[in-house]
A and B are shown apart, each in its own frame.
Chain A
Amino acid sequence: MPFIVDLPPIDFPDENTKIERVDLNGQKNSGEFDFETLNIDKDLFENVYFKEKFNSLLYSWKNKTIFQSSISKIIEDKNFTEILKMNKKELFPLIIDEIEKEPSVLVWALNIISGQSLEIKQRHTIEDVCKKWVSLYRQGKINIV
């Protein structure tokens, strides 16, 4: 049974992927590897990988910045900038779910990745805009290109 040691980013070229086979005795097998034998459902793999990557970056970002009072330090954190680089279309619903569960400054990511700012004339709090983004998204009024 092959065991993937380092899961690559989903857009990473196969030829640069590091793969090792380890048998039941813990012996590593060398030699060429035939990708076809993996037989992994690509969509499932990508979905699981994407969500895991998001959750992992989010967890690290929260841990590093949760007690931070400087906006620039929060949004310039490496984990936050890595989140921003993820595929927008798949990332958006994950952020929406997250700020629906727990309104937070993660909502700042929506402005940055969508390039959109809600047209709210009156003054709002972060909790208000989290609710607004969730509501508009659920109504299908936010288009992510």
Chain B
Amino acid sequence: MLNSAENKNKIIKIFPLLINDKVFKIEDNSPNYNCIAWAAVVTDCWWDKLPMDKRPSYRHIDGVKFDWPFNVPDEFSTRVLIEIFENIKFVICATGDYEEGFKKVVIYELNGEATHMARQITWGEDRGAWTSKLGASFRISHESPKSLEGNIYGYAVLYMKKSMK
């Protein structure tokens, strides 16, 4: 079962702060998309740095699409992630606190390198909590960006928000 204690323990082993997370649950385990794509609500391809002349790449692996959209530089960095999300109308904001009418994303960094993104849930009983795709693996919901902080993704360093109106 997807949301089993066994699977949850596997994740907690890597992200120990999840042990006290009241929202933590596993939602999916598809390899079809990664965290950056999921932050932009894309579930059928990976968003990862690609040389400019190969975007989007459908050929790279058997017709699977990989993209690094909006002509941003071929670089997996906070600077470039900001640029991508500015293209879809996000702006930098101060915190990850829930604001009615806004969708938020957060960028994580470890030793100055971008590692991960998460998106705030804006509907349902978990509204205000966060959703993260963990690489090619599980997609989870978690209470706050802090729950994934540690020696894998580092720390939540930058928030962006977008009006849903």
Contact surface of A with B, Cβ cutoff 8 Å: 65-72, 74, 103-105, 107-108, 111, 117-118, 120-129, 132-133
Contacts and interface: CB of A to CB of B under 8 A. Distances in A.
- How would you classify the secondary structure of chain B's contact residues: helix, strand, loop or mixed? loop
Nearest to B36: A69
Contact of B32 (A67, A122, A125, A133): A125
Contact of B31 (A70, A117, A126, A132): A126
A125 B45 CA distance: 7
Contacts of A70: 48-49, 76
B64 interface: yes
Contacts, number: 82
Contacts of B62: 107, 111, 117-118, 120, 124, 129, 132-133
A123 B34 contact: no
A107 B137 contact: no
Interface in B117-162: 133-137, 152-153
Nearest to B59: A117
B164 interface: no
A133 B46 CA distance: 20
A104 B136 CA distance: 7
B24 interface: no
A129 B61 contact: yes
| Most central of B64, B134, B137 by chain A CB within 10 Å | B64
